[in-house]
Structure 1
Amino acid sequence: MSDFRHKGIYILPNLFTTASLLAGFMGLMWAVQGRFELCASAILVSCLCDGLDGKLARMTKASSEFGIQLDSLVDLVAFGVTPAAMIYLWQTQHLGRTGLLVSFAYLACGALRLARFNVSAMRSPGGGKKFFVGLPIPAAACLLATLVLFAARLPEGALQAVLPGWCVGLTLASGLLMVSKVRYASFKDLEAVKAHPYTMSVAVVLLFVLMASEPRMLGFFFFLAYLFSGLAYTYAVLPLRRGTFLRGLTSR
């Protein structure tokens, strides 16, 4: 019985990983059919399943090399192939070869990002780091997915004039940031939550209320803010901290 329970603990995270793959596959089918809002929603569902399988693996200490490789393959489909196809079929195909190359560049950068993450995970397994190096591919996929949902709120004239440029810019930017060395918060460190449980609880409730009030609009701006947060931290906050540290050393 104990052996069965032990195996069940390892199977449970992989079930959520498989659910993420199913959502990504359904999203790809909907993108081909031109049902882009359904495709965007499927990407968000896949991201939720991806977050749950990682959380379960850490809680039950059931992470394994097999799980890491499976999760990486699923992520490439759900957050690489599906968003790239969605953006191409939705907007960038109108730009011809340029649009195709932009979508492929996103997919290629996502594959490189996942390969680099796998190498670092094998070198330091289970390392609960505070920051990711490079934009995580689920965040990049969710940015593009929420862009599709946000676009439904734009006036028809603005839709045709603004969206092609936005799609090219955001797709390229998210792809390049995935393979960059820009640091992004991982939200795996719970020290802030333990230190200020009441404040963090209120913040989470307020964020949930805001997201529920305007999910299409605020979802896009949330992921856009996350994209810029890494740039701000890496190129504004970190240099200031290093400068303060060096000044402290020279004053001794």
Structure 2
Amino acid sequence: MPMGRRKFRELPINSLIPNMLTTLALCAGLTSVRFALEEKWELSVAAILVAGVLDGLDGRMARLLKGSSKFGAELDSLSDFVSFGVAPGLVLYLWTLDSGLGSLGWIIALTFTVSCGLRLARFNAMMDDDVPEWEGRYFTGIAAPAGASISLLFMVVSFYSDAEIFKSGILNAAWLLFMAFLMASRIPTFSIKRVRIARRFIIPMLLVVGGLAAVMASYPWQLLSVIAVFYLGTIPFAIATHRKLAREEAAKALDQEDHPEDT
């Protein structure tokens, strides 16, 4: 029996659990398209958000259980492309781009989906790159789950606002192109993967989480809108701090070249 086939058949449970979460995220992303076809727009957005939550959990679960695998990484990329590239583009196309822009709306939806695919391909290609430790605090371009969620911002706002402008095909098309640019670009954005909370801040953080949960129960769409805008507001700070750290790294490397005996 080939070694690869034997390893696959003997996949340990600690690798199976993260893959199950990834599969559920994939199902959630596809289900959002079904809800969109049935014009159940709020459920469609909720399904994409659920896919984002599951996507965040599967990686952490894999690291916690030490169950990372090449199969899981490939499955995760496929799930991300479907849930955060294909699904949001189709949802927005069915919601407003088709009726507002016709074929041009489809082209814009395709552009967003392709940009997400390029972003994920670049992320996979950069995984083996030897980069400074501080680079781990940043993503290159906006992360796919964040890009998908924020691309639906005006759709979310329309759930609690009667203003017709938020349903405009032109507005949503421009916004979708902007998010496509952010995902495919090399603009640094903050990553929370390596964020560490000091012990003295744990209780206040739990209180904040509890408060946000209470707000989410009463005003879910308003809170999601605020979170999206806040996240976008952090991008200029990410750019500034990334440039500062890059300059410090370059100065350190130059200093080592000038004084090799100190290293």
TM range (shorter): 0.7 to 0.9
Query: What is the aligned partner in structure 2 of residue 99 from structure 1?
Result: 105
**Structure 1: gaps (5+ residues):** none
Structure having the higher Rg = 2
* AA partner of residue 79 (structure 2): V
Query: What is the aligned partner in structure 2 of residue 154 from structure 1?
Result: 161
Q: How does 1:37-116 map to 2 (within 5 A)?
A: 37-93=42-98, 94-116=100-122
Query: What is the aligned partner in structure 2 of residue 167 from structure 1?
Result: 172
Post-superposition CA distance 1:167-191 (Å, at most 9, x none): 1232111111111112222211243
Query: Which moves more between the two structures, 13-22 or 241-250?
Result: 241-250
**In the superposition, relative to structure 1, how do residues 162 and 28 fare at CA in structure 2: closer, same or farther (>3 Å)?**
closer
How far apart are the structure 1 equivalents of 2:116 and 2:31?
Answer: 20
How far apart are the structure 2 equivalents of 1:154 and 1:18?
Answer: 34
**Structure 2: gaps (5+ residues):** 1-8, 256-263
Alignment check: 8 A CA contact 1:21 1:78 kept: yes
Shift of 1:130: 1.6
* AA partner of residue 166 (structure 1): L
**RMSD (Å) for aligned C-alpha atoms:** 3.0
How far apart are the structure 1 equivalents of 2:78 and 2:58?
Answer: 14
**In the superposition, relative to structure 1, how do residues 233 and 26 fare at CA in structure 2: closer, same or farther (>3 Å)?**
same
3-state SS in 2 of match to 1:188: coil
Query: Which moves more between the two structures, 195-204 or 65-74?
Result: 195-204
Query: What is the aligned partner in structure 1 of residue 258 from structure 2?
Result: none
Shift of 1:97: 2.8
2:194 paired residue among 189, 194, 206: 189
Pair 1:130 & 2:117 matched = no
Query: Which moves more between the two structures, 193-202 or 53-62?
Result: 193-202
Query: Which moves more between the two structures, 46-55 or 4-13?
Result: 4-13
**In the superposition, relative to structure 1, how do residues 247 and 10 fare at CA in structure 2: closer, same or farther (>3 Å)?**
closer
How far apart are the structure 2 equivalents of 1:233 and 1:149?
Answer: 26
Post-superposition CA distance 1:104-148 (Å, at most 9, x none): 110010000010111122446xx8922111101111111234542
* AA partner of residue 112 (structure 1): L
- What is the aligned length? 242
How far apart are the structure 2 equivalents of 1:244 and 1:200?
Answer: 31
Post-superposition CA distance 1:198-226 (Å, at most 9, x none): 34333333433343332111202212321
How far apart are the structure 1 equivalents of 2:167 and 2:33?
Answer: 25
Shift of 1:246: 9.2
How far apart are the structure 1 equivalents of 2:83 and 2:166?
Answer: 29
How far apart are the structure 1 equivalents of 2:238 and 2:174?
Answer: 21
TM-score by length of 2: 0.80
Shift of 1:244: 8.5
Alignment check: 8 A CA contact 1:43 1:145 kept: no
1:13 paired residue among 10, 18, 28: 18
How far apart are the structure 1 equivalents of 2:251 and 2:77?
Answer: 42
**In the superposition, relative to structure 1, how do residues 161 and 240 fare at CA in structure 2: closer, same or farther (>3 Å)?**
same
Alignment check: 8 A CA contact 2:48 2:149 kept: yes
Shift of 1:6: 7.4
How far apart are the structure 2 equivalents of 1:96 and 1:118?
Answer: 34
Query: Which moves more between the two structures, 97-106 or 201-210?
Result: 201-210
Shift of 1:161: 6.5
**In the superposition, relative to structure 1, how do residues 232 and 163 fare at CA in structure 2: closer, same or farther (>3 Å)?**
farther
TM-score by length of 1: 0.83
How far apart are the structure 1 equivalents of 2:59 and 2:216?
Answer: 23
How far apart are the structure 2 equivalents of 1:245 and 1:52?
Answer: 32
Post-superposition CA distance 1:20-69 (Å, at most 9, x none): 11111111122223222221111111111111111101111211111111
Alignment check: 8 A CA contact 1:102 1:168 kept: yes
How far apart are the structure 2 equivalents of 1:187 and 1:194?
Answer: 17
Shift of 1:238: 4.2
3-state SS in 1 of match to 2:127: helix
Percent of paired sites with the same residue = 30
